[in-house]
Amino acid sequence: MLDATPPRTRPANAPADHPAVTRPKVGILLANLGTPDHYSYWPMRRYLNEFLSDRRVIDYPRWKWQPLLQLIILTKRPFSSGKNYKSIWNEDLNESPLMTLTKAQTAAVAAKMQARYGDQVMVDFSMRYGNPSTKSKVRAMTEAGCRKILFFPLYPHYAGATSATANDAFFRALMDEPWQPTARVVDPYFEHPQYIEALAQSVERAYAAKAEKPEMLVVSYHGMPKRYLMQGDPYHCQCQKTTRLLRERLGWDKTQITTTFQSVFGPEEWLKPYTVKEVARLAEEEGKKRIAVIAPAFSADCIETLEEINEEIRESFEHAGGEEFTYIPCLNDDAAHIDALSSVIESNLHGWLD
């Protein structure tokens, strides 16, 4: 996505010994959570160490958390997490599905942006954890002549452990730039009409392909400790609004759709209901034989959807007596999703590029 050797010229009216500079551009930097470089032990350990050492993710006191992390968790978890990653790994490209999909999303967005703005823009992506790092991509963009950078965390909903920590990494990267570019950060887009439309279309396609329609759509979001909500994090409310807007767009009543939360970690209470328990309850207590699950908080399929939802949560439903489990993929590089992302970007470029 970046120019390998951006052209440099001496500014007009500058003295002969003035260094050459690149022609100014606007950088559009997409950002996702991240991925290990491989599912083997040491790459997994490096990735998990970076992720679980982030104070936005685990906010326990360092003196209490780090010994537990370094001496216990990181001696065992790289094996179990690596096994899960191996089950979904893109062996052909030797990368995780999240990396493959983020590359595809970036290429599709870049094509849209360049068709509209030409060589005035440069589109690339970074990862909060692992590679390519936010710092490396900010540096590459500034070296390529980006005097303005629009930073776009690919999280529809704001949360401290996702959007905020991505922004933290971006702002830290800016601190190291000798000539700091002007910067903007994209707001969460959980209620953007085109995003809701893209979600609705994905549900309609999945249901149309079924001879017997699912009896319940489970809208599963990544979880967070309940105390974050009580401290003012808006994530829970934004998730609930996405579900409501999706239901209204589909024209359904409340009995056909429910909101749940997955990926619980640690001993404290997280946002409820937990997806893995709720799908079992739907089968056991409500007699639901057919359900579908969608995960709107993830812009691209990853370990939490391909392994956790499509394997662990599916097993919970089937073990409880459920018969047909349909996982509706993330929006990924679907055309309607790319249109939605592009629309969000264009609105944020107003005043920079019109």
Pairing outcome for strands 216-222 and 257-262: parallel
Distance (Å, rounded) from C-alpha 135 to C-alpha 126?
8
Mean pLDDT of 126-140: 98
Select the more confidently predicted residue: 8 or 315.
315
Mean pLDDT of 282-297: 98
pLDDT tens track for 41-89: 999 999 999 999 999 999 999 999 999 999 999 999 999 999 999 999 9
Mean pLDDT of 241-261: 98
Burial of 277 (0-12, 13-18, 19+ CB in 10 A): middle
Q: Prior bond to 273 cis, omega within 30?
A: yes
Pairing outcome for strands 25-35 and 290-294: unpaired
Is the pLDDT at 10 greater than 90? The verdict is: no
Confidence class of residue 107 from pLDDT cuts 50, 70 and 90?
Answer: very high
For helices 134-143 and 165-175, angle between their N-to-C axes, nearest 10 degrees:
40
SS3 8: strand
For helices 335-348 and 193-208, angle between their N-to-C axes, nearest 10 degrees:
180
Instruction: Please provide the average confidence, as pLDDT, over all residues in the chain.
Output: 95
Q: Which of 109, 102, 121, 107 is nearest to 31 (CA)?
A: 102
* CA quadruple 244, 249, 251, 257: dihedral, nearest 10: -40
| 142 CB-side CA count, 13 A | 17
SS3 217: strand
Is the pLDDT at 4 greater than 60? The verdict is: no
Share of the chain above pLDDT 90, in %: 92
Q: Look at the pTM and tell me if it is higher than 0.75.
A: yes
3 to 134, 135, 142, 146, 283: CA distances (angstroms): 17, 17, 12, 11, 53
Return the structure tokens found at 250: 């589909």
Other beta carbons within 10 angstroms of residue 351's beta carbon come to 8
Contact 302, 97 (CB under 8 A): yes
Across the chain, the runs of DSSP E, i.e. the strands, are 8-9, 21-22, 25-35, 121-130, 146-153, 182-185, 216-222, 257-262, 290-294, 324-328
* Amino acid at the residue 231: Q
pLDDT tens track for 165-221: 999 999 999 999 999 999 999 999 999 999 999 999 999 999 999 999 999 999 999
Return the structure tokens found at 163: 């959007």
Please give the DSSP secondary-structure letter assigned to residue 141: H
SS3 222: strand
pLDDT tens track for 34-43: 999 999 999 9
Q: How many residues does the chain have?
A: 354
Contact 206, 198 (CB under 8 A): no
Contact 212, 324 (CB under 8 A): yes
pLDDT tens track for 292-333: 999 999 999 999 999 999 999 999 999 999 999 999 999 999
Distance (Å, rounded) from C-alpha 164 to C-alpha 171?
10
First to last CA, the chain: 22
Is the pLDDT at 222 greater than 50? The verdict is: yes
Contact 94, 37 (CB under 8 A): no
Return the structure tokens found at 145: 């002549």
